[in-house]
């Protein structure tokens, strides 16, 4: 995971990998320390992907001061590594290997202690053997719990390590006293029971649970690992006639790189020699390889097919399209859903509350328990409460589901900007779609044209028209430019130019004002449409073609053009799927009513708004929201910016290198419109998984803690063993992560 830097309104914002967090309360501790560091304006920590983002004033705070604050409570930030992702992954691997060794030795030493505790209690020296075997388990193999608990206590904090250290430490010390001084209890008519097996097995089970949890958590980040794996580690650079291999990190803008058949492209660039076909499905979502020749752009992570070519590096490192996609997914996986804020507040007070419950449990048994066993039972139940109440499952419930859900989306060419998008996507009941470039291909072509003046006068007018449309950013303008250019029309210089939003463009040449656009533009400039032209326009529009008028101000129309933009092959299927999900679909377009109706009929949309300006699209969405709808807007991410900003969930159709990662909450990389229902299905399944996880995490603690405290003892004589409690605690975390991982196989 790369360190990410942004410049918000105040200060700067960076994301750092965090090391050594072991539970949700750890994340709360790190977040609290960061927020209380001088110069920090805000901070957040994600336990599942082990990262922290910090917004701070660089004149007051520094990465070093942030690192020291985190280190003071037993954790660490990676701040100065060239590739933080590699450092964090190496640290994880090392930590996993150490945890595996500790787990193996804990189990090896705990098994004989357990057997002696169950079957050899009356053997001579049994207690001393258990003492010798348990001591290294608790204080050597489990030393990290005590070290971290002490660091937390110094700052008035507590976390899972506090619970483990107190429970195993109390059990061990109490048992050691009873082993060395049994007469103290015998003189009072009580048996000196020992609980070495509880202390040893708790450490073993918790270590085993953490081992399984780490293995499961590593799978939640598989999408990121796949994306990062799409970058080759070395490249071949050409300087003169010399070709040499260098690491990817050393590639600079301007380097000429060689790509052979079957190789992945390392950075973004432009082909300078050779030709080939490239699989760009990672970037465009399209499975058909794209032809590349001199002058064409190529992108990092895409795969060369059969040909060989050379290209010049134009974007390297964090500036490539692939790097932006990786960064987008990382940001999203590290974001918090609104429900997580509640969970964080619960986790922040959970451990202190558990300590209070354990103390009350001990005092309750001491005051009201059977006189001969009150002290030992009180200690045993307090230890059990401390063990069973680990908040790991609670802390993992939301972020693991978010990580897997967003990773699943990335694998399906759906880039999700943040966790809140998933929560809102779950509530969407109305989807508004732009027509051009969303329902249609966005590749309009001129199919028909008619000049209404003599052919002798068209040459100059064609040049004026080409000059006007060349300066317009609208896709329809591109179609006319392509049509005129193909005919060999020469462009001239205009005296003035103005773009009229939602209508077309105007320009001045030698004192005359010319306009190209829709009927509204003509009306507002006094241009007239002859009756015979109206019949032609009606015919074209009934064929789902868009008609563009070319005129001179206060004069009759000079020419009309019919432009067809084919409907996406997936549009009807996608809209049908949305309607099957109970979602109402709307089409908004600036086009005329007749063309809009023809397109809507082709794809099965009943609700159509035609002749709508960009600002009016936003107003329409606002109207739906006032009616109580949660609205998703699907557009191209540029022309539809006001509507996308107004919508609850904004979806931009991605277009290769121009992917609108910063515009919408969700970016659909593929041009396949079925990505829309897939994205909403993913949102619903992710939120459902979060709710399942939170339900089981809360229920586990609500039921487990009272049982551990002995609530069933008066009626049934049942007390929960600390060993069973530690196994249940480990199982709860693993079950939550495993439930989240089911999303990876979900059908969208």
Q: Is 553 left (phi over 0), alpha (psi -120 to 50) or beta?
A: beta
> Are 499 and 473 a contacting pair, CB within 8 Å?
yes
Q: What six digits make up the tokens of 611? A: 């002749």
**What CA–CA distance (Å, rounded) separates 564 from 544?**
7
Q: What six digits make up the tokens of 126? A: 């049994």
> Are 502 and 436 a contacting pair, CB within 8 Å?
no
* Strand order from edge to edge, sheet including 445-451: 445-451, 557-564, 546-552, 512-517, 504-509, 496-500
Buried/exposed code over 117-153 (b: 16+ C-beta within 10 A; e: otherwise) = beebeeeeebbebbbebbbebbeebbebbbebbebbe
Distance, C-alpha 138 to centroid of its chain: 39
Name the one residue in this structure whose structure tokens are 């959970």: 350
DSSP-assigned beta bridge partners for residue 667 = 415, 652
Closest C-alpha to 21, from 213, 203, 224, 220: 213
Angle ∠(155,157,159) on CA atoms, nearest 5: 140
Burial of 589 (0-12, 13-18, 19+ CB in 10 A): buried
> Are 589 and 434 a contacting pair, CB within 8 Å?
yes
Positive or negative, the Cα torsion across 566, 569, 570, 572? positive
**What CA–CA distance (Å, rounded) separates 92 from 219?**
13
Q: What six digits make up the tokens of 483? A: 């049509």
Angle ∠(440,445,449) on CA atoms, nearest 5: 130
Judge whether 434 counts as a catalytic residue: yes
Name the one residue in this structure whose structure tokens are 């405290």: 709
Burial of 586 (0-12, 13-18, 19+ CB in 10 A): buried
Q: What six digits make up the tokens of 301? A: 């992570």
Instruction: Tell me if residue 167 falls in helix, strand or coil.
Output: helix
Instruction: Tell me if residue 19 falls in helix, strand or coil.
Output: strand
Burial of 576 (0-12, 13-18, 19+ CB in 10 A): middle
**What CA–CA distance (Å, rounded) separates 121 from 199?**
16
Choosing from 434, 478, 591, 640, the catalytic residue is 434
> Are 303 and 284 a contacting pair, CB within 8 Å?
no
Q: Is 74 left (phi over 0), alpha (psi -120 to 50) or beta?
A: left
Q: Which long-range contacts (CB under 8 A, 24 or more apart) does 191-194 make?
A: 193/376, 194/117, 194/127, 194/130
Closest C-alpha to 549, from 582, 566, 569, 524: 524
Beta-sheet pairing, 631-635 with 430-434: parallel
10 Å Cβ neighbour count for 507? 22
Positive or negative, the Cα torsion across 383, 389, 392, 393? positive
10 Å Cβ neighbour count for 553? 15
Query: What amino acid positions are annotated as catalytic residues?
Result: 434
């Amino acid at each position: 995971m790369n360190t990410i830097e942004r410049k918000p309104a105040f200060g700067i914002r960076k994301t750092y990998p965090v090391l050594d967090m072991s539970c949700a309360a750890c994340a709360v501790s790190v977040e609290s320390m960061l927020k209380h560091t001088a110069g920090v304006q805000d901070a957040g920590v994600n336990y599942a992907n082990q990262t922290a983002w910090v917004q701070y004033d660089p004149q007051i705070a520094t990465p070093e001061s942030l690192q020291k604050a985190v280190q003071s409570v037993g954790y660490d930030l990676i701040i100065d590594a060239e590739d933080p992702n590699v450092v964090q992954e190496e640290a994880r691997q090392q930590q996993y290997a150490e945890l595996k060794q500790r787990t193996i030795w804990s189990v090896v030493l705990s098994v004989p202690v357990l057997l002696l505790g169950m079957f050899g209690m009356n053997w001579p020296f049994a207690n001393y053997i258990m003492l010798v075997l348990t001591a290294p388990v608790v204080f050597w193999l489990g030393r990290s719990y005590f070290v971290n608990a002490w660091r937390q206590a110094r700052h008035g904090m507590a976390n899972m390590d506090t619970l483990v250290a107190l429970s195993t430490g109390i059990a061990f010390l109490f048992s050691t006293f009873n082993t060395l001084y049994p007469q103290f209890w015998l003189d009072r008519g009580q048996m000196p029971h020992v609980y070495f097996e509880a202390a040893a097995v708790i450490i073993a089970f918790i270590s085993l649970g953490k081992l399984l949890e780490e293995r499961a958590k590593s799978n939640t980040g598989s999408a990121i690992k796949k994306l990062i794996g799409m970058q080759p580690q070395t490249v071949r650079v050409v300087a003169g006639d010399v070709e040499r291999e260098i690491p990817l990190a050393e590639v600079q803008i301007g380097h000429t790189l060689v790509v052979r058949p079957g190789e992945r492209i390392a950075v973004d660039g432009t082909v300078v020699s050779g030709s080939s076909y490239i699989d760009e499905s990672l970037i465009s979502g399209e499975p058909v390889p794209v032809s590349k020749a001199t002058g064409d752009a190529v992108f990092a992570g895409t795969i060369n097919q059969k040909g060989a070519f050379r290209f010049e590096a134009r974007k390297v490192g964090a500036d490539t399209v692939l790097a932006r996609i990786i960064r987008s997914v990382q940001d999203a996986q590290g974001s918090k859903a609104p429900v997580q804020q509640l969970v964080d507040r619960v986790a922040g007070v959970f451990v202190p509350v558990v300590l209070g419950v354990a103390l009350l449990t001990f005092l309750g048994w001491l005051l009201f328990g059977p006189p001969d066993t009150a002290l030992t039972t009180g200690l045993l139940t307090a230890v059990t409460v401390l063990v069973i109440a680990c908040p790991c499952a609670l802390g993992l419930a939301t972020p693991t589901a978010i990580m897997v859900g967003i990773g699943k989306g990335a694998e399906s060419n759906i880039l999700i900007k943040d966790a809140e998008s998933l929560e809102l996507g779950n509530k969407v009941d109305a989807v508004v779609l732009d027509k051009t470039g969303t329902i249609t291909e966005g590749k309009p072509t001129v199919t028909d044209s008619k000049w209404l003046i003599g052919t002798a006068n068209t040459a100059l007018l064609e040049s004026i028209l080409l000059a006007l449309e060349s300066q317009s950013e609208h896709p329809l303008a591109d179609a006319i430019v392509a049509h005129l250019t193909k005919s060999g029309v020469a462009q001239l210089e205009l005296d003035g130019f103005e773009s009229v939003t939602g209508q077309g463009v105007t320009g001045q040449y030698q004192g005359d004002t010319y306009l190209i656009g829709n009927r509204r533009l003509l009306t507002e400039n006094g241009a007239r449409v002859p009756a015979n032209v109206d019949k032609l326009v009606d015919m074209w529009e009934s064929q789902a073609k868009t008609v563009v008028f070319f005129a001179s101000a206060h004069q009759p129309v000079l020419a009309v053009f019919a432009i067809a933009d084919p409907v996406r092959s997936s549009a009807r299927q996608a809209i049908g799927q949305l309607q099957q999900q109970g979602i109402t679909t709307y089409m908004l377009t600036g086009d005329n009513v007749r063309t809009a109706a023809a397109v809507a009929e082709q794809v099965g949309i009943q609700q159509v708004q035609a002749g709508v300006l960009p600002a009016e699209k936003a107003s329409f969405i606002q109207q739906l929201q006032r009616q109580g709808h949660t609205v998703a807007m699907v557009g191209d991410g540029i022309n539809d910016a006001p509507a996308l900003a107004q919508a609850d969930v904004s979806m931009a159709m991605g277009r290769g290198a121009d992917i609108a990662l910063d515009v919408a909450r969700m970016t659909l990389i593929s041009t396949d419109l079925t990505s829309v229902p897939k994205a909403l299905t993913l949102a619903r399944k992710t939120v459902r998984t979060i709710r399942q996880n939170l339900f089981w995490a809360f229920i586990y603690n609500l039921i487990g803690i009272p049982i551990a405290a002995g609530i069933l003892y008066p009626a049934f004589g049942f007390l929960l063993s600390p060993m069973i409690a530690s196994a249940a605690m480990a199982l709860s975390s693993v079950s939550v992560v495993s439930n989240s991982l089911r999303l990876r196989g979900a059908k969208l």
